[in-house]
Each structure stands twice: as structure tokens, then as C-alpha cells.
Amino acid sequence: MCQLLGMNCNYPTDICFSFQGFAARGGRTDNHQDGWGIAFFEGTGCRLFLDNRPSIYSPIADLVLRYPIHATHVIAHIRRASVGPVAIENCHPFQRELWGRYWVFAHNGDVPGLHAGDCRFYKPVGQTDSERAFCLILDALRTAFPAGGATVREVHAVLKEITQSIAAHGIFNYLLSDGNFFFAHSSNNLCYVVRQSPFSSAHLIDQDLSVDFQALARPTDRVSIIATAPLTDNETWTPMKPGELLAFENGVPLKF
């Protein structure tokens, strides 16, 4: 299956350290070699990088590692193709507009049985079941709140309902954000770590690389990293429960 990486924080920061370990899984330490992508929210804008080559061989991935883009919401994905050929249109994250904002989505798992004809307003461009699921989610949000303006609690309630419907078809781990809201859903495999004061050092599992966040972060900084599997071997990662849908805000998960 594919793997997911997300970041939500209370102050714009870069994801270079986590991405270095994550990108290694795209063909070096794991077999997710069928493309990759990453999206950074900056204000109302969104930088989206996609490549259908393995991340370990991608010059675009090298650019992301060398160019520290600071953002409060980041979603990344490395693909192991199961539905749809290896092609740029099938690389995650996918992006669409809703309520005058960009929405970005990445999925890990398989949800067979979803049909493009079920989508009303949004249509998939590629062939993946993941993109069809994204279109169905945005259809549900647009139908529930035609003019937008919904709170994170209201969006969470509608999202939970459509997520349960889609997850009934299979495995539906995903990350979703519009640069304001950040949601993570686990069917069977998603975890997170919250980095905040007092900061310590972290060591990557997939690279022999450590960073001392105490020397880099401000006392008020708070960052949540969400991933399919832990990226570090000396931090406490919290596994999400099956069927759990979390909203993250300012670097912490919200409780509804």
C-alpha cells in the first residue's frame, strides 16, 4: 500500500527532516516506487509537487529537501500502485477548489466499488479509487454547506458520515486539508507525534540522521507529524484507533 505524511503546526515551519526519512521509503527502505507528491499551504495559496518517479530518484524530491518551504499545513504521499497505472494524474495529493479555497487529499488503502458516476459536482481526472473518494467527500461538503462558512466541528460531523460510507468499501486511511482545517482518518494504520516544549532530539528510522529541536524551535512552537508508520525511533508515536477521525489545529489534535 501507499504511505502518508502530514504536518500541522501553530507557526510556519519546514518538513525537511521528516520528509527525508519519508522519501527514503519511496524505493530505498521500502517499495513505494510508483510516484509521490507533496502539498504546502501558504496563506490561501498551495504549492503542489508531483512526480511519477520514485522519490529516491526524483530531482523534485531533492528540491524539496534543499528548499525549506515554511507552512502550517503539509500533506505528502508515496505511492505503491494498486488501482490505476503509474502516471502523473494518479499521483497524490489531489487538489480541488471548494468555498474559494484549495483542498488537498491523499489516501492509503483500497476502496473498490466507488464509481465516478456517483460524483455530482467533482469528477476524477485519473483512474484511482482514491481520487473518486476525494470527489465524493467534496460533493458531500458542498451539498451540506453550499455557501461555506462551516466550523471545524460542523465539517467534522459531515466528514465523519461520508468517511464511514466510503470506508465500508475497504481501507480508507487519509489526510485532508484546506489550509485552515486539517483532518486525518485511520482505518487501520495511521499515527502521530506532537512536538512541543520541552523539545528534544529526534532520530530517523530510515536514515542515520538526527536533529535537535531544542536548538531550532521556539518555546511556543507546536508541531504534529502524522504518518502511516513512525518516522523516528526515539519519540513516542500515538497510534490512531480504527475508524478514528481527528481534526488537528495549531499542532494538536482536537477532541469532539
Residues classed as catalytic: 2
Cβ(9)–Cβ(250) under 8 Å?
Answer: yes
One-character DSSP codes across 186-205: ESS--EEEEEESSP-EEEBS
Facing residues of 47 across strands?
40
One-letter amino acid at 198 equals P
DSSP 8-state secondary structure symbol assigned to residue 166 = H
- Strand duo 222-227 + 182-186: pairing: unpaired
Residues 6+ apart with CB under 8 A from 81: 34, 35, 90
φ, ψ dihedrals at 148, nearest 5°: 75, -155
Q: Which of 54, 75, 73 is nearest to 4 (CA)?
A: 75
Cis peptide preceding 198, ω within 30 of 0:
yes
**Which residue type does 126 have?**
G
**8 A C-beta contact, residue 135 and residue 124:** yes
